[in-house]
Structure 1
Amino acid sequence: MNRAALRASSYAFIGTLALITTGCATDESSAQPTETSPTPLASAFSGQKFETEIGLTQPDSLTTHTLSEHPINAAKPVSLLAWHDHQTVISHGLIEDGSLKENNKLVFDTKEGAYHLTPPAVQDDPPRQALTASITEKYVVWSEAAGLESGTAQRVFLHDKAKKTTNFIHPADTTKFGLTLGAIGGDALPVFSDDKIWWHTTYQTPEGNKNPALVMHDPLHGATTVVAEGYTQPKPLGDGIVALGLNPHSSGTTTTGTTTHDPNVIASFSYFSSDGKSTDLITFNTAHNESEFVHDFDAHDKLLAVGYKNSILVFDEHGTPLTRINTENFGVPSSIRVCGNNVVFTTGNDTSAATVHATNIADNTVQSAARNTVVTSITCNADAARWTENANGTAFNIEARF
């Protein structure tokens, strides 16, 4: 199963949730979120809540160019895992008889040259494939697993760029929390925020249920902490992260105490600061029908973008609704990425002809690029987006500048 398939299967769980309320609406002059009475999100669709509504247009106005291309070799897959400024992490695999023959080889390419990222050996591990990576000024972090099924051992590695050292990082309590791939609720992949590394793992309760747990690593002090149980998919937001909280028992336990929720609310987006304290941003209840569900989301800096029905709902870091991007005439949006002021996503990506859209939240403009193939591995920054396209036995790395 590839990463796209993992993401699709993981979001099947999220598909049972419907977005109904927002919390912590704030005055923009306030430095901290201020609690307010929950407001039904349904009012947003009548224009009473979201400040702006943007409709997509078909014009092919997003200019693209090919960065590189290489032949597709199923036995030696190549993947772009991360891109930051002039630095990239590229994974090279070796597959025989449908199975990994050896660990993926990771190449860290910079303007000063390229070198291999070699993780320390983990005893009794089968060959692992790299899932994704993140790059900052100081570090490279990535995750690896021998397979993509829930419960597969996940390894997270941290590379110090200045020291050229690589460490294996994990929760201290491996008996309870293990080192498993958090495949329920979406990607368990590590992200950076405020020089902290966040990911989620999955553990099995005494009752036999598989629950997610949110993990934070502090590279400066070398400490790895389980911040909260019941939360998945951390994304960088403000000086902390936003995570999707699953609430099957009407309460969630964090390191800062227990919060009791409405028993009808089964999930929420919560903000976590670097000290582990959490604030609820948006809450969910069960869906009324199949079309009412959250199917993808992303966050970066001060924006949170949530795919809901045939639209993308954009919030600020306090959960205040800003913009609704209407994709009704194009279908359900996927591969959502927050890239500076732009929200990048695809429509029609489950067919052979995807369209990439870049919607600028600051000036309410839309750029689109119709492609003749499926688009995968979207990465971006404030100025451009990059992705991979496969056509006629060749993989193309594409860039579009905003």
Structure 2
Amino acid sequence: MIPSSVREWFPILHQEINGHPLVYLDNAATSQKPRQVIDAVKRYYEWENSNVHRGVHTLGSRATDAYEGAREKVARFINAESAEQIIFNRGTTVGLNLVASSYARSVCGPGDEIVLTEMEHHSNLIPWQQAALATGATLKYIPLQPDGTIRVEDVEQTVTDRTKLVAIAYVSNVMGVVHPVKQIAEIAHRHGAVIVVDGAQSTPHMKVDVQELGIDFYAFSGHKMCAPTGIGALYGKKELLNRMEPIEFGGEMINDVGLYESNWKELPWKFEGGTPIIAGAVGLGAAIDFLEEIGLDAIEQHETKLAAYAMNRLSEIEGIRLHGPRERKVGLVTFNLGDVHPHDVATVLDAQGIAIRAGHHCCQPLMRWLKESSTARASFYLYNTEEDIDRLVSALIQTKEYFGDAT
């Protein structure tokens, strides 16, 4: 159960926007940060700030311990086999691009297949497009059901012995769908392919066990799970990471440098050239401590309850179009309010202190599949309440009236 005092830990929530108490429903874009994370980053800069791995002085040792300690926390959080399988980076996008640019381009060739879905975020689509263009591989798409889900039978029919890689989001950032990743991984492995999972929308909201799921690569961002922006991680199986070449070169990722050739450090440092995102990693470690103290099971149960309440309340609004399956585990609802443009909806809601997202959500192929130019999205997290949803519904009803009851 989420503590009733949880909102008190998030300073940003205690303000008015346009004369109204803030209702923040844009958590799929980024979450807010609790005092525990803010204080951890502040403490690092005040007492530990130094570059890592390089200095033998006290501050350097403190910074290195904090940075590598955060890596250990990430490994434990997703149940990686070891911390050396955790590559720190700027976020999900960078992790997916590393796999596409290094691994995919080394194993794919003409006639090989990369399997996706039409609902992927651009970060989990464009890198594979570029890999396919560079190698001559073919992109294939698992068909979607009318509610935006995918069937295991369709995965089995799409993945073949020519498939080298399956790339899929664990949770869709538009449809709120939780994909059967474990079964998809089993199908991929049966055909000799690897599975790459976009964990941006799953890691903050549910327990993730990469070993139990059988995932080969898993990328996620810290800023969606109460950590600072600009920090994320890529997990990979050790044998795959060892086969990959780095795509960024410079200080700290090298073992030995000569005038005409160089070689690289072992995992994970060969993929972390230059000064890393030290304070961000410290903040990510603090965010993991915070989320584990509350409990991922409690967070998932809270969001499941909020999602059900939101779907029921929003369904009461005449002319609203709700996208995705009726039943869902994550707190994310995407909709269109009659003929009112989503940007207009978001603007009117903002005037009442309610923050939602409007646009194509970096999923233009999915928008075309939905036959919508854009959609509105309300997304919830551990600090949201049913009262927040009630305010959203009330404001949407007023928005309809404002635009002449457009349907």
For Structure 1 versus Structure 2, the TM-score category normalised by the shorter chain is under 0.3
Larger RCO, structures 1/2 (Cα 8 Å, 6+ apart): 2
Of the two, which has the highest radius of gyration? 2
- TM-score of the aligned structures, taking structure 1 as reference length: 0.26
- TM-score of the aligned structures, taking structure 2 as reference length: 0.26
